[in-house]
């Protein structure tokens, strides 16, 4: 009699192309980017930060009721968008506006949604940051965490039936994996062999709940094998690693008609959910500092 151990004892490695100084690690296996694409990635990452700064300040001033930044997650936002085709259908969580930015959604269009003005495509019926754009194949963000995941599998199955040369890419946070919908979606995608790429942004926290209170497995990547899905762990601060992993995942999803799971490891940068009427008090800024994690070893 032999019980399977609860852990393999060895952590799954993290795919990286760049070292801590931003230099390419010798012998790395990665996709070469043209100068044009590299500059576009960099400029979109800067635009995302600037947009966040303006909207976050507007929220703190009470001009909009709600905002979430992508601070520290610019690379996963933009490099994953760059690795996809415009026909790929995106089902986001809420911290991925960079995909829309990459696809040409304008800052004015972001502002229209956040302010719920007459030009907002959602006609002011959604909370701020719940963007959606049919033109950009970006399905409107849903507030209830993880509901997008089983929906993504259904859409991917329809692409499969129509024999489309495209896949569905859906994003979730580590917190999203604590929802039943995450597990249903993974299993559903494996048995239907749906062309869907699940990208899990593991930044270590679901608001104030640390991952140690969410799961005991070696992160998210190991869940793939449990459901019969190919998976990889990637350093989310490494643009070349994110681009190369998502590019390869997309190719596999479409050419082999299968789901792929990508766990992206990120540093947590404080973003507090506060209504504009509430002010940050010193103890909260202190807690927030406590939440900042060191760069994950794996
Ligand atoms: C079903 C559901 N439960 C709770 C919430 C409240 N909520 C909003 S964001 C969030 C944390 C999600 O964390 P994670 O998925 O790790 O994303 P992150 O904010 O770290 O990017 C929670 C619990 C919600 N929106 N939906
Ligand atoms: Mg999280």
Question: What is the residue extent of each domain of the chain?
Answer: 35-291
Residue 56, number of CB atoms within 10 A of its CB: 16
CATH code of the domain made up of 35-291: 3.40.50.970
For residue 197, what are its two tokens? 């790429």
Ligand 1 close to Cβ of residue 176 (< 6 A): yes
pLDDT value, residue 276: 57
171: nearest Cα among 145, 210, 191: 145
d(CA 265, CA 197): 16
Alpha-carbon distance values, 44 to 36, 50, 51 (Å): 12, 10, 10
Would you say the CB of residue 272 lies under 6 angstroms from ligand 1? no
Question: Could you say which ligand is closest to the alpha carbon of residue 203?
Answer: 2
Give, for all 298 residues of the chain, the pLDDT tens digit. Answer: 999 999 888 999 999 999 989 999 999 999 999 999 999 999 999 999 999 999 999 999 999 999 999 999 999 999 999 999 999 999 999 999 999 999 999 999 999 999 999 999 999 999 999 999 999 999 999 999 999 999 999 999 999 999 999 999 999 999 999 999 999 999 999 999 999 999 999 999 998 899 999 999 999 999 999 999 999 999 999 999 999 999 999 999 999 999 999 999 997 665 555 555 555 544 444 344 334 433 333 3
Q: Name the nearest CA neighbour of 247 among 262, 257, 237.
A: 262
Taking the chain, what is the end-to-end CA distance rounded to the nearest angstrom? 33
Ligand 1 centroid – CA 32 distance (Å): 35
Is the pTM higher than 0.85? yes
Describe the crossing of helices 107-115 and 35-60 by its angle, rounded to 10 degrees: 30
Element (H, E) at 200: strand 196-202
User: Residue 281 and residue 283: Cα distance in Å, rounded?
Assistant: 6
- Residues around ligand 2, an ion, CB closer than 5 A: 173-175, 203
What token pair was written down for 246? 């998502």
Say what the pLDDT of residue 88 is.
98
Ligand 1 atom closest to Cα of residue 146 = 1
User: Which residue's entry shows tokens 């940050």?
Assistant: 280
- The residue nearest atom 26 of ligand 1, judged by CA position, is 144
Output 59-64 pairs: Cβ under 8 A, ≥24 positions apart. 59/128, 59/276, 60/276, 61/276, 62/276, 62/277, 63/115, 63/276, 64/114, 64/115, 64/128, 64/276
Distance 204 CA to ligand 2 centre (A): 5
For residue 265 and ligand 1, the question of a CB distance below 6 A is answered with: no
């Amino acid at each position: 009699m032999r019980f399977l151990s609860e852990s393999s004892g060895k952590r799954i490695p993290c795919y990286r192309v760049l070292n801590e100084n931003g230099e390419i690690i010798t012998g790395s296996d990665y996709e070469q980017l043209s100068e044009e694409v590299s500059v576009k990635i960099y400029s979109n990452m800067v635009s995302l930060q600037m947009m966040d700064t303006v909207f976050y300040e507007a929220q703190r001033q009470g001009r909009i009721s709600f905002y979430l930044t992508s601070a520290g997650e610019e690379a996963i936002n933009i490099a994953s968008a760059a690795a996809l085709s415009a026909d790929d259908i995106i089902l986001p969580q809420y911290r991925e506006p960079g995909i829309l930015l990459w696809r040409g959604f304008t800052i004015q269009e972001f502002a229209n949604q956040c302010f719920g003005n007459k030009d907002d495509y959602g006609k002011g019926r959604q909370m701020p940051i719940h963007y959606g754009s049919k033109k950009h194949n970006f399905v409107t963000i849903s507030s209830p965490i993880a509901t997008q995941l089983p929906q993504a599998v259904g859409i991917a199955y329809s692409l499969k039936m129509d024999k489309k040369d495209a896949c569905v890419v859906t994003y979730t946070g580590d917190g999203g994996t604590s929802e039943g919908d995450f597990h249903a979606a993974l299993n559903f995608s494996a048995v239907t062999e749906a062309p869907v790429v699940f990208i899990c942004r593991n930044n270590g926290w679901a608001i104030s709940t640390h991952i140690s209170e969410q799961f005991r497995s070696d992160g998210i990547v190991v869940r793939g094998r449990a459901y019969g899905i190919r998976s990889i762990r990637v350093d989310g601060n490494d643009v070349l690693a994110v681009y190369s992993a998502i590019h390869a995942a997309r190719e596999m999803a479409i050419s082999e008609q299968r789901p792929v799971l990508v766990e992206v490891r990120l540093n947590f940068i404080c973003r507090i959910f506060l209504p504009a009427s509430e002010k940050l008090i010193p103890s909260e800024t202190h807690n927030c500092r406590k939440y900042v994690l060191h760069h994950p070893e794996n």
